[in-house]
Amino acid sequence: MEQSFLSRLILRHRLRLALRRMTPLQREIFLALRFKADTVARLADVHGLSSDAILEEFAQALLVLVRTLNPPRRSWRNWWLR
């Protein structure tokens, strides 16, 4: 397989995994803000939350995404790969 094709497969798998790890509310807010171009105010009205709560859920969703895309190395692996 081609390297870039493999990289895309791994990325797609990790993105799906990240979406599954998010709570349903985090997932809905993340997808709405990133891909549907909804506003924070509209999402706050729809979900009955404050704008700050929507932004907090979005931040938590981003944290899940980053941690899934870049999993931390185990300490023994850090030592071994010095």
CATH code for the domain in which residue 54 is found: 1.10.10.10
In this prediction, residues 46-52 reach a mean pLDDT of 97
In this prediction, residues 9-30 reach a mean pLDDT of 96
Q: What is the pLDDT of residue 31?
A: 96
If one counts the domains in the chain, the total is 1
Residue span of the structural domain in which 21 resides: 3-80
- Per the rule left: phi > 0, alpha: psi between -120 and 50, beta: everything else, 48 is left
Query: pLDDT of 52-76, one tens digit each?
Result: 999 999 999 999 999 999 877 777 6
